[in-house]
Structure 1
Amino acid sequence: MGPTIGVLAFQGGVIEHMTALTKAAASLQKDITIIEVRSSAELESCDAGLIIPGGESTHLSRAARECGLLEPLRDYVKVKRRQVWGTCAGLIMLSEEASAVKKDGQELIGGLDVRVHRNHFGRQNESFMTNLDLDFLRNSTATNESSSSLPFPAMFIRAPVVDKLLTAAKTHDAEATPQEDAPVEVLAVLPGRHASNKAAAAGELGPVSPEGAGDIIALRQGNVFGTSFHPELTDDIRIHVWWLEQILS
């Protein structure tokens, strides 16, 4: 039996992620087991990685707590340092801080040393799809000569963005764990639609691109990967293939 990858199965694109993972594994000729995760025992069996899909982040945190999974998830991400990918609400859950939270606050798993802004692009009816040039895919086996120049169709649904990098505010600790020392890698920004430019100009935001413009919509820090958008809602499996390459190499 091959390695096991789980998809947290409280809400969101669970089946869509599992389908994309199945196709990605087939394209890489990898034998993996993909399971739905709703318990600590199921989480523990995910020796290769975990996806936290979209949905509503406060519901996800409440469901995880009620199922006794919130602390095991934190242990999985921040102590065991297993590979994990969060999409949309999953990105919120994997951030250390969140702004624009509900009155009761927001319990998070953490792992990404950033602050995210929830529902950055507005309500459900303001959802949109846009084509992104994702440089991090260019060296993936998912990107052959015919698809190397193709943009990725990214679906944004009440999506968050990273509005502050927290790492730069921390001093180096000689006894820091590898994750604490791992840099936040900005993998993609969305040009335009940049609601945080004033904060960036005031020096309140870390650099988001060489040009210093655009909203952070994909990033990685150590074992944690996050995207604001929903790759599972398209037929394009390149990001799922890329992620499998990272965790199975």
Structure 2
Amino acid sequence: MTVIGVLALQGDVREHVAALAGAGADARPVRRPAELDAVDGLVIPGGESTTISKLVDIFELREPIDKRIAAGLPVYGSCAGMIMLAAEVLDGRSDQRGFDGIAMTVRRNAFGRQVDSFEAPVALTGVDGGPFHAVFIRAPWVERVGDGVEVLGRVAEGPAGDRIVAVRQGNLLATSFHPELTGDLRLHRYFVEMVRTASAG
């Protein structure tokens, strides 16, 4: 069975583990380099990106994750996870460091504060079954993308219509929103299939 880890330092870890299990993966929390070595794919969950950045260093996971990404490990980042995968972050803290995986510029907390959280339908390229009911909580958005980045979805409603909220570059996937909070497993199934394809290759 495909083994997918969820970076379990902070954020909505249990929800991602449950969604991945429902999508047919062997889902496991990852807190140590040895646990990272055992997975075929990794999810970086929503939470607080500056806190995750600090904990990645405390738990000595930065270099191992950087190396696995460079070697082609499929990684999916939701909300704060999107920020962690971005090459450039606007409105971030000066000591905040991500994994520089996707050639995109992300604006942190772009949709506003916690009270500005909202839900909206998002049509996603490659995900069948109609628009995805997306939950945005202090969410980032993508200001621009570089070469090789496929825009999978834009939000048409809410406080900033037509902003990019879902992207893919090779084996890396990122969304501004939280699919693990909806009960809709389509995006997790999409990622599980990404991991299986990468493992077969």
Percent identical across equivalent pairs? 43
Note if 1:156 corresponds to 2:136: yes
State yes or no: 1:116 paired with 2:116. no
CA distance in 1 between partners of 2:5 and 2:163 (Å)? 29
TM-score w.r.t. length of structure 2: 0.93
Do the aligned partners of 2:50 and 2:96 also contact (CA within 8 Å) in 1?
A: yes
In structure 2, runs of 5+ residues without a counterpart are: none
Provide the TM-score with structure 1 as the length reference: 0.75
Please list the CA deviations of residues 201-231 of structure 1 after superposition, one character each: whole Å capped at 9, or x if unmatched. xxxxxxxxxxxx7111000001100000000
- Which structure 1 segments of 5+ residues have no match? 26-31, 139-147, 168-182, 196-212
Residues 92, 98 of structure 1: 8 Å contact kept: yes
- Alignment pair present for 1:75 and 2:67: yes
Q: Find the residue that maps to 1:135 and give its secondary structure.
A: coil
Aligned residues: 197
Alignment of 1:106-185 (within 5 A): 106-138=96-128, 148-149=129-130, 151-167=131-147, 183-185=148-150
- Cα distance in 1 for partners of 2:132, 2:154 equals 13
- Residues 21-52 of structure 1: CA deviation (Å, up to 9, x unaligned): 11111xxxxxx422110011111111x20000
> 1:193 Cα deviation (Å)?
5.2
Residue of structure 1 in register with 2:20 after alignment: 21
Residues in 1 aligned to 2:120 and 2:41: alpha-carbon distance in whole angstroms: 28
Is contact 1:137–1:238 with CA below 8 Å preserved after alignment? yes
Q: Matched residue of 1:136: which SS?
A: coil
Identify the residue that residue 34 of structure 2 maps to in structure 1: 41
SS at match of 2:23: helix
Equivalent-residue separation in structure 2 for 1:157 and 1:194 (angstroms)? 12
Whether 2:188 is the aligned partner of 1:243: answer no
Q: Which residue of 2 aligns with 1:57?
A: 49
SS in 2 for 1:137: coil
Runs of 4+ with >4 A deviation: 192-195
Counterpart for residue 92 of structure 2: 101
Query: What one-letter code is carried by the residue in structure 1 that aligns with 2:138?
Result: R
Partner SS for 1:244: helix
Q: Contact (CA 8 Å) 2:5, 2:41: kept in 1 or not?
A: yes
